[in-house]
Structure formats: C-alpha cells, structure tokens
Structure 1
C-alpha cells in the first residue's frame, strides 16, 4: 500500500500514539512480495575493494578488520609534537550523561491521570535508579524495563519518557577521549604491537574501512566519511625501496603505471626522507596522485614496543574509482543514491519490465505454456473457431482449457498477440518482428516478453484462482497485457519525454470447461 506522508505527518503531530497504532494496520495482511527476476547490483566501492583485495591476497597479504574507535592518546604517541594539529581533524565521541530523575508529587499526579489506578511508584523509582547506575544499558532497554516491570503499555512508557521525565529533554552531550578513526595508521600501530610476536615475518596486512574527518564542508572533493584501503608490511630488514617495489607491484596489477615524488612535509609518524606521494598515469589527465607511502618512524614504533621496520600505504579507493570510471565528484562514488542523477540504459530499463501475474503451481505453469503454444500455432486461423489448449486436473478438479473466437470474419487471436517488448533510445515499444521494425530489434534491447506471454501468465493465474474466462481485447497500456513496468522506469521514460507504446489489438479469449 502506498502511503500519504503528508497526511501521516499531520496526524502524528496531533496524536502520535494514536497515529502510531493506527498506521500499523497498513503493514499487516497476506504475503504478496515476489523476488524480482534479476541479479542485484554491487556498489562501485565494493567492486574495486574486492578487486584490490584479491590482488593483495595473491601478493601474500592477510586481510584484517580494524577497530574504528580509539583513545586520542594514540594520535599523541604516533604524531609527537604534530599531534595537536592532527587532533583538530578528529571527531570526538560524546554521550548523554544520565540524570537523576525524581518522582515529585506533581509527576505522580501526571502519571495517575494518564495511567488509571497506577500505584507502583516504588518499583518505578528502582527502575530510575537502575537507569542512572547504567544497570539498564540502552534507551530501548529503558522503555522495555518500564513496560515489563511496571506492566504498562508501550504508549504509556512513551508518555513517561517524553512528558513526565522532563530531565531527559535537557541533557547535553559530554565529550570523551574516544575518537573515530581519522587516519587508519592510528589503528595499525596497536594492531602490529599485538601481533608482532604471534606471526612470522614478514607480516603483511591490509584492511578496508571508513575514515572520519572533521571537514568544514562536504563537496566534490571533500567528505566527512569516506571508504579507504590501507596496507602495512613489517619485516626485519625492510626499507623504503622495498615499499616502492610493493607499491609498483600492486598498482601494476591494478592496471596502472606509477611515479614517486618526495613529499616536502611528511607527517611525524613517517621517518624523514621515506614519505612519497604516488601518482598514476591517466590517458587523459596525465599523472594523478592516488596515495602516499612511507616507513613508520622508529620513534613512533618504539612507543608501541614494535621491534621491526614497517612500511605503510593507503591507496585512495575513491580516487582510483574516480579515475577509472570518469567520475568528477567523490560524493557520487560513495553515495550515488543521493548525488547521481538517474540514468538508465535501454538494458536497465528492459530489466525493469516483467510479467505481472504468473501461475504459482507447476500445473499452472504448464497451462500457461500450452496457451502460448496454441496461440502461436493457431492464432491466424479464421473464425469462428475453437482450439483446445490443455486438459487435466488442477486443484483436484478436471478441466479443459481452450481458446475461442466466436465472431465471424476475424482470427483466433488479434494481430498484436505476438508483439514483443523492445527498449530503444529510452522508449518502450510493443511491436511485431517484421521488416518494418527490423532496425528496432537490431539496435534496441529485447526483453523477450511478448503480449501472449503476459496474457497466458494472467490466464493461467486466474485459472488457479478458479476463474472460467480470461479475455483481452484492445491493449492500450502495459497492464492490459499483464506486463508491468517498474514505476522508476515509467518516471524516467516520461521525464525524458520518451514513449511507452505498448498497445494493439490482442483480441484473445481463454475459457475453461469444468
């Protein structure tokens, strides 16, 4: 069922609990969902992340998942005197301190007025103490405790939280020393510290994950959260030339030629003289920076008691995707649903066209095929005429299915019955395979859906439901021949001033004798 958002919002403003309860009725009933006959689509980031990951696995790297939340002390240990400037880019995590919630006489009066006969104030006070002491973990648990321990409804619990316990409305977040991962390096040092005596050398690790940075704005080149790839190699005699070799090998397998340029101002966690910007050659844009590499400073490593040299590289997945896919906006890489203008190819539009109602049983599917075969074989026979299509038992009842045309001077089926649905240049057509439309079939996307396929599916579906006759006369829209075009495709085609031209004289009747 399609919702009216404006109506629901207005109703919720007047009475949230009543609207909350009443709208739930829109979401119950018999199962009607059908899986679409298509394969889902991967996100670009997943495609390139998988490609890079497979290459690294082949090179001998192990994949790890790194913690996304760390104490800010790790930035201080790694960056030394540069840490204050780096901390400015981090997001600190804050939580809401839990207030003392008392039960004054006025609050008790409000509760009694709303919840008639309520007298479990001692138990309620215990719940409030448990909440303050964090014996109740989360907000949902608080609501559940009120409902289960007091024996009240969820609506009543909402009333207590929103109207009675006013202290909950005025809480201000309190910052902690925990930060979201801004540089994946932050997580590499403690991870390497933990495993340096557990794995044999060389230790070769990679990860993919989100990085969070306090950008002043989000635009075509800046995001506050973006997905990235990072790798480290730890070995006893490792140096920056080894790191360059590893980088060249990785990007070569990704399909790129690389160039290294010394970075004039490297971060303190890299050793001086080992920090390089890495550029790849693009056929149109020339040399484009995609990552930087470096050897971790022995000082930063010593702060974690790490005994071996460590090489690090963080190839920018977003930058690589932008270059490979000719995308100019980093937001379109990560969040295409929000930033990319919809563009559908003929093939994509065709994939959004399907037969609506179909038989569900093996017998029903057999009937549908028999109807199609009969229409193909006898559709041009002059009328009046009748041709039996199928005879057998369905749902415990013997039936005979036949196609009939009682009128004189016509045909068993109309001339459009074998029309096929083709998508060409953004328009949807239902046309016959004749010389007139030869170019359309050659250049367009063929859905392999014909009017007869849709009609037969509908007839067999209705026979399963106990119907004795299914008739289609002149088709004027896709639904007339049981063909469904996804609303997204309809809006797209119409928005581009293209056509949906699925029409024609079908004039076919299926009947059942019981």
Structure 2
C-alpha cells in the first residue's frame, strides 16, 4: 500500500478526526511483507565504537553509562571562575509549566457542543487539578486518563485539549537549571566521587557518550551533537606523563604510527595547569589531525567533590578517529551521508550566494535598478549606481526587453530537488506553497555585479542563461551536492536571463 501524502494532508485539514479514522484502514490487517534476505549494513561510527570498546575492555577498563543531563551547578563546581563562559556553550533543558485550568460556563458549552451527553464535569475538574499538582504524567498518560475516567473517545480527548483547554496549546517553555552535557567531564566528577573508596584502585573507566554543544554553525569539523569516547583513571600514583604514555599506546594500537602532543594554549580551569594537552595523529590527506584532549583534573575542582586522588581524563574524538582511519575529510559525511535523508530546509541551507560585496547597498541599488527597468525596450541604458563606480544596466539590441523572461525567477527546494520557479505562474503553486525558498535569480546575480563593482573591475558583464547554480552566482555545499547525486535528485533552473551591466 502506497500512501498519497498530499491527499491525506489536505483531507486532514478539512476533517482531521474523519481522516484519522478513515486512514487507519491503510495500516490494519496483514500485508504481504517479507524480511530482507541480506545482512544489514552497519554504520562506520558504531563499527569503530564497538571495536574500540572491545579493546578498552581488554585493557582492563570498566564501562559505565554517564548521565547526559546535569545541573549547571556541576559546571560551576568544576570550572570555577570560567563557568560563565562554558555555560554559554551548553543547551539548557526547558519544560512546559502546567496551567491552572478552570471549568467556566463557556468551556462547558464547548464540551457539550462536541459531546452532547457529557455529564462528568466534577470528574473533569478533579483531573485538571491533579494534572496541575503533577499527580498525572503529561503526554499520552494525560490523554489516557481523560479517555478512561471520563468514558470518552480519543478524538473527544483531543478536542478537549485543542479546542476547550487552549491554555495547553499556548504554553511557552521555561528553562530549568538542567543542561545537556557539552563535556563528558561534567558527568565524570559525580560518579568518581561515589566510587573513589568503593572500588579497588586504579579505577579505570570509559564511556561512549553523546555531547551537545551550541556551535555557531556545523561544518566539516564541528557538529552540534556528536558521539564521543571518554576515559577516566583514578589512582594515587598516576601523573600526566603516565597519561601521555597510555594515550600514545592507545592510538598506536588503533593503527596510527605518528602521535604528538601539544600544550593547549587556553587550558580549562578544571585541568591542573600544565597538564592539558591536545593529541594529534598523522592523517594521510590532511596532515596532522587533532583527535583527543587529555589532562589531569585540578585538585581544586576535585576538592569540590571531596575527591582525594589524582584523576586523568582523555576524550578521544570518536568521529575524528574514524575520519583519519577511513580518509574521510568531512565529519558530516561520516555521521549523516549513509542513508541519511535531508529535508528541503537542510538542502536549501546548503545553497549560498557565491560572490558578495562587503557593502550590501551596492547590491540593493543594482537589483532595484534592474527591476525598475526590466521591461524597457532596447536600445536602452540606465544608470543605477555611482558611488564607487558608475554602473549601468542596458539592453544593446533594439526592441528587446532589458531583462529576459526568466530574470525574475526564484530558486526553491521541493521534495529534494532544486527548482527554478516563476512567481505568479499557477503551475508552480504547489512548489511555492510547500517548498523552501532559497533566493531569487536577481538576488544572486545582483550580488555578482555588485562584487565586481566593489572590486573595481571595469567593463561589461553579461548573464545570459541560468543552467547551473554557478551560472547565476550560487554555490552548493559539497556534502549536499553528493547527497543529491546519490539520491538522484535534480537541479532544474534552466531559464533565459539576458541581462547586461556596464561598470565604468
């Protein structure tokens, strides 16, 4: 059974409950399904993670699971005066406050409009009070209570939540002091404090842990969430030179012949001064690649947890290790290229204007001038900018419009394809309504003309035809381009533009 998503979506807009019930028949009963007879494929990241895990277990490390949710008080205790800067990088967890909902006459009328024989108003008020006191869990549990205690249908409970008790749909998240860990260290201190006198020394622990960082952008070396390996060793006789020797042996065991250590210029305050090193291995293509950071936790930070033994920490970057071993140059390719589906928004974000001036006023002036004179017939020449250089838009051929028929087109991403769309044309209505706009042809072309103006390049510039993204001054992220090729997606922007600019 193949669904028709557009039809279902449109029907649901008109009658959500009816379509919800009707479409159930599409997935009930038994289908002619058979399991694949082939062996499944494994993700490179987990392939190496499990191999490294096995090696660490053989070296005597014990595996633990670190709690990824920690109070920001832990960060303050560990980082001391540096905590403010670190907390700017973490994600705080928000929750939805529970409102105090009353049963006004207006709400009762709304209920009776949908459920004419409803009489359990007292029971409903009790449920709302219990919900406010958090005696009832939220989510599906709340819906289940409404259905079971009021003897109503699921669709009726949805009506109560969305139409009667609108307070529930208009709530705004409120930040707590709980954070998603940006460093495994945040979770190590509490667990080490508990184990320091309960486990035989040396205490050697490791964990595979997701780290979440509020990066300004994701690029070839940075992700907002990534899986990492973290090691901690506690022993009264352990020092940083022991840690360097252990780290070198670890990476050579993974197949790296060259390993070097460099003192980190700006050392976190949770490490003892002079003990924080960046670890590099030799990558066959890109040269030295940072793959880990090591250090001895500062006794000052440890004292806040009443820890009385030295602790060594290492954070081998799992993604970067795999990149080095597999000759992968972009971490996004490692994480997301294997079968990863990209949304139209993600593809659109990977398309950028290539050449742009520092002064956006030049772009605006040129674009405005082209639009104002787009229907002028040649031979025509109009000045549109004159601050740094004089810029003219012109049409050299008699009787032809200054701007070609595709000049006002816009770029959209729809269902994974990059498309040139003519605004106002009814055949593009679905794309314009449901797709993601990137920019207009003129946005990109005007930036190209403005870039050359700012650079002082004199002469005539012509954009005749849009057939590729670079032809109209657009560029696509390499990973996005590879994804589109793998998925057999199309770039269809072909259109005649025929616009001329002279810079004097």
What's the TM-score once normalised by structure 2's chain length? 0.67
- Pair 1:11–1:258, CA change in 2 (3 A): same
Cα distance in 1 for partners of 2:486, 2:187 equals 48
- The match for 2:86 is 86
**Aligned residue number for residue 182 of structure 2:** 182
Per-residue deviation at 1:198? 1.2
Structure 2 partner of 1:75? 75
Cα pair 2:283 2:327 within 8 Å, conserved: no
Shift in alpha-carbon separation, 1:112–1:145, aligned structure 2, 3 A: same
Alignment of 1:106-505 (within 5 A): 106-256=106-256, 257-336=258-337, 337-338=339-340, 495=488
Measure the CA separation in 1 of the matches of 2:134 and 2:57.
44
The answer to whether the 8 A contact 1:55-1:250 is kept is: no
For structure 2, list consecutive stretches of 5 or more residues without a partner in the other structure. Answer: 344-483, 491-504
Q: For residue 496 of structure 1, report the CA deviation from its aligned partner.
A: 10
Kept in 1: contact 2:284–2:327 (CA 8 A) = no
CA distance in 2, matches of 1:316, 1:190: 22
SS at match of 2:169: helix
- CA distance in structure 2 between the aligned counterparts of 1:226 and 1:494, rounded to whole angstroms: 25
Offset from partner CA, 1:325-358 (integer Å, 9 cap, x none): 22222222222233799xxxxxxxxxxxxxxxxx
Post-superposition shift, 1:205? Answer: 0.4
Over 3 Å counting, the alpha-carbon distance change for 1:87 and 1:277 in structure 2 is: same
Aligned to 1:103: 103
Partner of 1:401: none
Cα distance in 2 for partners of 1:143, 1:218 equals 38
Output the aligned Cα RMSD.
2.0
CA distances 1:440-495 after superposition (whole Å, capped 9, x unpaired): xxxxxxxxxxxxxxxxxxxxxxxxxxxxxxxxxxxxxxxxxxxxxxxxxxx99995
Deviations 1:356-385 (A, max 9, x none): xxxxxxxxxxxxxxxxxxxxxxxxxxxxxx
Contact 1:206 1:231 in 2 (8 A): yes
Name the SS for the 1:65 alignment partner: coil
Match of 2:369 in 1: none
Cα distance in 1 between the residues matched to 2:144 and 2:152? 10
Separation in 1 of the partners of 2:325 and 2:290?
A: 13
Check whether the contact 1:193–1:305 (CA below 8 A) recurs between aligned residues: yes
Equivalent residue of 1:101, what SS?
coil
Matches for 1:31-46 after TM superposition, within 5 Å? 31-46=31-46
Contact 1:331-1:339 at 8 Å conserved across structures: no
1:5 alignment counterpart: 5
Partner SS, residue 36 of structure 2:
coil
String of CA shifts for 1:116-173, please: whole Å, max 9, x gaps: 2111100010011111111111221111111000000001000000000011122111
Aligned-partner Cα distance in 1 for 2:333–2:283:
20
CA distance in 1, matches of 2:285, 2:173: 49
Helix, strand or coil for the counterpart of 1:338?
Answer: coil
The number of aligned residues is 348
Q: CA separation in 1, counterparts of 2:128 and 2:27?
A: 34
Using the alignment, how far apart are the partners of 1:339 and 1:290 within structure 2?
A: 28
CA distance in 2, matches of 1:126, 1:186: 42
Structure 1 residue ranges, 4+ long, deviating more than 4 angstroms after superposition: 491-497
Contact conserved, 1:124 with 1:150, CA < 8 A, in 2? yes
Q: Which has the larger radius of gyration?
A: 1
8 Å CA contact 1:212, 1:226 repeated in 2: yes
Q: For residue 400 of structure 1, what is the aligned residue in structure 2?
A: none
Q: Secondary structure at the match of 1:319?
A: helix
